[in-house]
Structure 1
Amino acid sequence: MFPRTFALSAAIAAAVLLLSAAPAAAVTVDPAPSSSSAAQWSVAPATSTGPDGRISLRHTIAPGAGIDDAIAVSNLGTEPATYSVAPGDGVVGDSGAFDIAAGDPQDSGAWISVGGLDAGTLSLAPGETRVLPVRIDVPSGVTPGDHPAGIVVGVTRSSDGVAVTNRVGVRVHLQVAGEIVPALQVSDVATTFTPSWIPFAPGVVRVETRVENTGNVRLGALAAVSGAGIDAAALAGEPAELLPGDSATLVAETNAWPVFALFGTTTVRPVVLGDDAFTAPGVVDESFTTAAVSWSGLAVVAMLAGGIAVAVVTRRRGRRDVPAGAETPTPGEATTGSAEHARAAAR
């Protein structure tokens, strides 16, 4: 009974293990949302004659100095329209895309003024384009580095009593001259391991790395994960943009073996974005540890151990149930005994 029980349990475990398969590592990055209003009007950097092909207003200005530029606003629709035009502070939204904060600007947005407006609005006929002068004046004593901003052109429409504002903006890459200090810092690493339902097969480890921009210029950030028992993986897609003082969570998921405890490293690589001109700082490494247990595998081991224990107990109990001296004599022994008994009776 014992050999058959053990063989059957081992065969079941072997069959389960043969079904084990490691799924491919996957890293996903959410796409930036698109603006449905872009087909109705546009705003772009310009010279006095119209749009000039630039994608943003980019300037480095000393504290206390100023500069002139321009934007062109075009009505691409078939109806006359009135647009609100306002500068604002630059921010990175929850989606990871650059945005321009609503409301009164508190930083560089307050240094920008736009001319050619009527109480902050601009009316355009269908197909009309108008160039608006832009003035940027940097106050004295301002901290060197990036001070992102933008200019928003929007339209507010009401439907069923609900006002909806669609906005299109042009980015202002504004840097105040002075010492440039690019720096990223890892502030926290959180890890979780999700085991596979297949015993002893690789599960998925999810590593969330919280990164802060502690310098004074924007930086991109990419993360990579490595370690014993972990399939090396890097965060795919575009690097996350961090403005000075910003933080973001970089998420990477990859395969990892259920070795009870995973010891790994998350490596953050700073990236210089766009046309920014400086040298990126070095990579930042941070170690992590997380439990990695195959619960289905432990269940298989427990069942095997239970089967073996039952077989051993059953065999020992069967031996104890046989009475002492009750063994059946062999045929030779029975014949010899009968002959001796016969001779004794004859005497």
Structure 2
Amino acid sequence: MRWSAGPTDGRVSLRHVAEPGSAVRDSITVRNLGQEPADFVVSAGDGVLGQNGAFDIAPGTPSDSGAWITVGGLDAGKLTLGAGEHRDLPVSVAVPADATPGDHPAGIVVGVSATEDGVRVQRRIGVRVHLQVTGELTPALEVRGVTTDFTPSWVPFADGTLKVTYEVVNTGNVRLGAAATAEAAGPFGLLARRGGDAADELLPGNTTTRTLEIPAPSLFWASGDLTVTGVAVGEDELTAPTPIIRGYSVLAVSWTGVGLLVLVAGGAALFLVRRKRTGTGGVSTEEPVAAV
């Protein structure tokens, strides 16, 4: 079974900025690309991020902007299309008068059921709705729970791996990406290293836990800063919040290097002991020379 769903004019998503109490109108097109008639189920829902960080539409009864969306041209939420047929469906969004400013992500799900190998399978396509309510926009991130873990290399005194795990929360009312950089250096800033990471998108109220890995010098102690910067996503235009900086330090010991030092020191000590014994306890073998 093949089908498609998307904005009627070919856009990637439905994007609107609306005032509280206003109404927005748009449309989507559903196409049956298969060789047989098909029954589609169409519904609206709140926008969420899945475990992999990708945008998804929450199942069940919507509690936010998904409840503001109405899709027309349906029969009890269903649409029947013949092979090769398509239909334009009107979409209206009624924004409540008390809607709060900021992003209210939503989407429209178009699903179809089919039997595959005797099993009934439902497949879905989502049309994303970017809806922003006018008012004061407050882009903001918060970083919590920064922890570090150092894993030394098996090669003596070679760089180990520093894992910086952190939790970042979108505490504002618009979506943001989160770009992170981490630095690590030995005592007195020696052998500084650097690495980067990013969360592509965080919806308002979303939390994600990330782990950033960077090389770090094995000089017994390493320290550095984690810097998390909010960035605009896609076509969004906003003033990025002030970067957040969190310092950290960690024990960074090359245990194979320490073992090598112990072996070298032990060998040197043994050599000195043996040399000392030879120098003080030896017996001279020289014989006196007879006078002629």
- 8 Å CA contact retained: 2:13, 2:128: yes
SS at match of 2:193: coil
Q: Which of the numbers 162, 168, 171 marks the counterpart of 1:205?
A: 162
C-alpha offsets along residues 319-344 of structure 1, whole Å, 9 cap, x if unaligned? Answer: 5655xxx5445423xx36xx9xxxxx
Q: CA deviation at 1:214?
A: 0.7
TM-score by length of structure 1 reads 0.77
Which string of whole-angstrom CA distances, capped at 9 and with x for unpartnered residues, describes residues 226-250 of structure 1? 23234222227xx520000111233
* Residue of 131, 135, 139 corresponding to 1:174: 131
Q: Is the 8 A contact 2:112 2:123 kept in 1?
A: yes
Q: Which secondary structure state, in structure 2, belongs to the residue aligned with residue 331 of structure 1?
A: coil
Tell me the equivalent position of 2:188: none
1:234 match: secondary structure: strand
2:82 corresponds to which residue? 125
> Is the Cα contact below 8 Å between 2:113 and 2:123 reproduced in 1?
yes
Cα distance, 1:72–1:147 mapped onto 2, change above 3 Å:
same
Where do 5+ consecutive residues of structure 1 fail to align?
A: 1-36, 47-51, 340-347
Q: Which aligned pairs between 1:273-312 and structure 2 lie closer than 5 A?
A: 273-312=233-272
Give 1:42's aligned residue: 4
Higher strand proportion: 2
- Partner residue, 1:220: 177
In the alignment, which residue of structure 2 is the partner of 1:21? none
- Which deviates more, 145-154 or 119-128? 119-128
Distance 2:52 2:234 in 1: 19
* Structure 2 letter corresponding to 1:63: P
Q: Which of 67, 75, 81 is equivalent to 1:110? A: 67
Q: What is the TM-score normalised by the length of structure 2?
A: 0.91
Inter-partner Cα distance in structure 1 for 2:118 and 2:171? 44
> Per-residue deviation at 1:140?
2.5
Q: 1:129-148 residue pairs with structure 2 within 5 A? A: 129-148=86-105
The whole-number CA distance in structure 2 between the counterparts of 1:162 and 1:53 is 34
Q: Which runs of 4+ in 1 moved over 6 A?
A: none
**Are the counterparts in 2 of residues 200 and 258 from structure 1 also a CA contact under 8 Å?**
yes
Give the equivalent residue in structure 1 for 2:24.
Answer: 67
Counterpart of 1:31?
A: none
| Correspondent of 2:34 among 69, 77, 88 | 77
The structural deviation recorded for 1:165 is 1.9
Tell me how far 1:163 sits from its aligned partner.
Answer: 3.6
Q: Which amino acid aligns with 1:297?
A: G
Q: Which residue of 2 aligns with 1:3?
A: none
Q: What is the percentage of aligned positions where both structures have the same residue?
A: 51
Q: Whole-Å Cα distance in 1 between the matches of residues 44 and 184 of structure 2?
A: 47
Once the two structures are TM-superposed, the CA of residue 146 in structure 1 deviates from its matched residue by 0.6
When residues 182 and 164 of structure 1 are mapped into structure 2, their CA distance, relative to the original with a 3 A threshold, is same
Higher helix proportion: 1
Structure 1 residue identity aligned to 2:57 = I
- Report deviation, 1:162: 4.2
* Contact 2:150–2:162 under 8 Å retained in 1: yes
1:254 matched residue in structure 2: 214
The alpha carbon displacement at 1:137 in A equals 1.0
Once residues 231 and 116 of structure 2 are traced to their aligned partners in structure 1, the CA distance between those partners, rounded to angstroms, is 44
Which residue number in structure 2 is paired with residue 86 of structure 1? 43
| Higher relative contact order, chain-length normalized (CA < 8 Å, sep 6+) | 1
Q: Which has the larger radius of gyration?
A: 1
